Structure 1
Amino acid sequence: MPSSSFIVLLSLLFVGGVADAQSEVLATLPGARRIELAPDDARPASEIVISANVSTGLFFDSVLLRDGIELEGRDRFSLVDVGQTTLRLVPSPLVTAGEQFRLVVRFQDGAAPRSATFLLRAHPANAEPLVEVYRGRRTIETYQQEAREVRDALVRCQQERARLMAEHDAPAGLAGLISTKALDEHGVAGRVVTKDVAQSAGNVLRVAIVRSYRSSTGVAVEIHLAVNSGAQPWVGKGAMLRTKAGVELKVLRLWQEHPISTGEVGRVVVEAEASAAAAAQGAFSLKLWEEDGPRSLTLTNVTFP
């Protein structure tokens, strides 16, 4: 869905007095995660991933009891907007990776289940933007949409498997770049962008050198990092490359030379897919994070040759 259409959709959902429109959209939101509640409420709390300064919207098929919303650490959220059948949450910048908050919602009609409990887990970047919650029977449209998404996911897995097998069978060095069509007659372009990028305040990692590269099939960013004195060794787990408009490139791999300890500089390489030249034009933000830890790195104004 184009970003402009997505913004319009969210605006419609959170404007008061459109309960009927919300119910229709609830059945067909593409890409939304679905949670089904059992009548006996015996299942454990469903986990929902949130991120600081990123909106997460919960859409219910039943009217909420607005006074019955309980949110642990409510002061840690910049916005808690309760609608008739919607709940929008925006964690504040103070929320760090690994933090957890208990959320309880109650329903107005008193039918089973009368309430639902969720566990909100903070992540540096992977917030879930849309979550649908069902108490009753789902419409046929939602099952059809879910089947389409499963098929799409299967196709992506097959494509990824084919790519990995091709890389496994490819030779190393320049021959490997040629065989995978990453190298053409124009070669691979590189650029030192250390002075151009900006590092967000509060990062525990210090950037020494940043280089960007472009091939015929993708882009890569090479970062030389140092850990602040006294900190534990840092190992990157995930990465995200996003344009100012919010469009993300598909990250293919995150490679790290070794765990980065105090007093040394380590090298991290992020590679992303960008087969079309226009796919990686303009400035990007790059975010790196560690596994199950609060320490992350954000660089802005990353450009490619």
Structure 2
Amino acid sequence: MSSSFAVLLGLLLASGASADPSEAGASLPGVRRIELAPDDASSTHEIAISAQLSTTFLFDSDLKRGEVELESRDRFSLVDAGQATLRLVPSARLTAGERLRLFVRFRDGAAPASASFLLRVHPATAEPLIEVYRGMRTIETYQQEIREVRAGLMRCQGEVVRLAAEQNAPGGLAGLVFSGALDEHGVTGRLVTEAVARAAGNALKATSVKSYRSATGVAVEINLTVMAGAPPWVAKGATLRGKTGAELKVLRLWQQRPIPTGEFGLVVVEADASTAAQGAFSLKLWEEDGPRTITLDNVMFP
């Protein structure tokens, strides 16, 4: 076990040195519902997409499948237009931060006769399901949305309670005990630098990778080096995705300092492991203002 990291984790639990949890979190959950008014043809709705992640549109009206207009269509791995569905899987050729136009027309000619969307390429997360309504929504869809909103509010309330408790928590090992992260088994650590697979095209070099497990969570400690000639790098968000596609809830993304050109810096990603975090995970980090990302596959926890 790394005692220095245990102290660091305790300090993190008691400090505000982490990124905004909404930015550190994983993919965008749930179903997004868009209602089109009769005069809504000129409006554009922004949708988050990401390379190799599926985004599916469900329409309540049939499409003119041959008239789906998608900017840079050749850079998508899959564009599957059904009778009233459209599934998109972007390829890795798309760059984070890009915005692409999507335009669809409906078969029945009723107003609005078309709909326009702006697809924003995110480094790691995508909106998986979009329901688009032109007519009146059923009461069941509103009831489902209310249930989802209530569940989201409960999660937010739990997060507020957790953050408030952390503000009053002591530092160091006492903080770990106070938070319940430390039990009789302590914090176990593992050097995984050699086992981790680095994706081609990583913007930074991972010189050292360590993984940790406590009673309630897991963490990855990465030493990153910015290549010579590249601008400084600040981590904005992170995901930890298993081989089945399930993601761990990222609780905290902490960076020691902005990483200057040609130098290295420490980044720590902490995730909830109240459920089993077994097997290999893919860790993806993206920067605060720009398209540069780093992906580390085969990250294993003790």
Structure-2-length-normalised TM-score: 0.89
Unaligned ranges ≥5, structure 2 = 1-28
Q: Structure 1 CA distance, aligned partners of 2:289 and 2:145?
A: 29
Q: Residue 198 and residue 222 in structure 1: after superposition, are their counterparts in 2 closer, same or farther (change >3 A)?
A: same
Q: Which runs of 4+ in 1 moved over 3 A?
A: none
Partner of 1:293: 290
- Write the mapping of 1:74-93 to structure 2, written as runs, cut at 5 A: 74-93=73-92
| Aligned-residue offset at 1:42 | 6.0
Q: Structure 2 CA distance, aligned partners of 1:232 and 1:261?
A: 7
The question of whether the paired residues in 2 share the 8 Å contact of 1:98 and 1:293 is answered with yes
Which of the numbers 271, 278, 282 marks the counterpart of 1:281? 278
What value does the CA root-mean-square deviation take over the aligned residues? 1.2
1:285 partner letter: S
Q: Structure 1 CA distance, aligned partners of 2:248 and 2:86?
A: 29
Question: 3-state DSSP class of the match of 1:208?
Answer: strand
Partner of 2:252: 253
The question of whether the paired residues in 2 share the 8 Å contact of 1:97 and 1:292 is answered with no
- Write the mapping of 1:100-111 to structure 2, written as runs, cut at 5 A: 100-111=99-110
Question: 3-state DSSP class of the match of 2:184?
Answer: coil
The question of whether the paired residues in 1 share the 8 Å contact of 2:41 and 2:115 is answered with no
Question: 3-state DSSP class of the match of 1:116?
Answer: strand
Report 1 or 2 for greater relative contact order, CA contacts < 8 Å, sequence distance ≥ 6.
Answer: 2
* Match status 1:210 vs 2:216: no
Q: Structure 1 CA distance, aligned partners of 2:69 and 2:225?
A: 41
- Write the mapping of 1:27-176 to structure 2, written as runs, cut at 5 A: 31-41=30-40, 44-176=43-175
In the comparison of the two structures, how many residue pairs are matched? 274
Question: 3-state DSSP class of the match of 2:176?
Answer: helix
Q: Residue 38 and residue 175 in structure 1: after superposition, are their counterparts in 2 closer, same or farther (change >3 A)?
A: same
2:293 partner letter: S
2:64 partner letter: L
Share of identical aligned residues, percent? Answer: 70
Question: 3-state DSSP class of the match of 2:249?
Answer: strand
* Match status 1:303 vs 2:300: yes
The question of whether the paired residues in 2 share the 8 Å contact of 1:98 and 1:292 is answered with no
The question of whether the paired residues in 2 share the 8 Å contact of 1:285 and 1:298 is answered with yes
Structure-1-length-normalised TM-score: 0.88
Partner of 1:18: none
Q: Structure 1 CA distance, aligned partners of 2:143 and 2:166?
A: 35
Question: 3-state DSSP class of the match of 1:177?
Answer: helix
The question of whether the paired residues in 1 share the 8 Å contact of 2:283 and 2:297 is answered with yes
| Aligned-residue offset at 1:229 | 1.2
Unaligned ranges ≥5, structure 1 = 1-29
The question of whether the paired residues in 2 share the 8 Å contact of 1:98 and 1:121 is answered with yes
Partner of 1:9: none
